[in-house]
Structure 1
């Protein structure tokens, strides 16, 4: 199963405070363990929401809202995508994570990523074929990059 591990934003991450060399070293070591174990598929940190935008949908209307966004505890500062056998395995790996926000209360949120089988009959054979084709195309583009 694939799991997205969401690193929740904090006051410091939203203020653009960069991690220390020590924190980067610890996180680099942890990421190396994830990669060697075949767990980590992707992961990155995100700039503060002041540099972001939101697109709000209301029927056919689209409204662009510039950051920063309120409610820091609801924002995302970074993420991983992991391939694990179970949510329990993901929790085990998350517990080993170095403090992602030293000096502040940090939160990791683990969420399963939908798989094709989760959609049942709504994912017709044609839609499944399209999904497979698009996934292959993305992988091909990533290999070229």
Structure 2
């Protein structure tokens, strides 16, 4: 089962120790064959909305930055519990904040 784990931005910039610990965690889950992809996302981005025949394109940044997604990891897990466990471990490394775990349907 594939899961997308997303992380909302925080106000804190990562220090050297945090970068090292994140790198170790990423190396571990990569070596275990769990991590498919990971990355950071640009702030804001572009929102495309549709209503009937009308399509609206709005470029960011947006005022509700707390709703943005700052980064993601795509993982292959045996089940949701394993994905939650990985996300919990990652949150313990990066500190306070919010992440979301969603199963990917192909």
TM class by shorter chain equals: 0.7 to 0.9
Structure with the largest fraction of helix:
1
> Structure with the greater relative contact order (CA < 8 A, sep ≥ 6): 1 or 2?
2
Unaligned runs of 5+ in 2: none
TM-score of the pair, normalised by structure 2: 0.86
> Aligned-residue CA RMSD in angstroms?
1.6
TM-score of the pair, normalised by structure 1: 0.65
Q: Which has the larger radius of gyration?
A: 1
Structure with the largest fraction of strand:
2
How does 1:54-133 map onto structure 2 within 5 Å? 54-97=47-90, 98-99=93-94, 102=95, 105-115=96-106
1:37-81, Cα deviation, whole Å (9 max, x unpaired): 1110011011222xx221121222221212112323321000000
- Give the length in aligned residue pairs: 104
| Partner of residue 20, structure 1 | 15
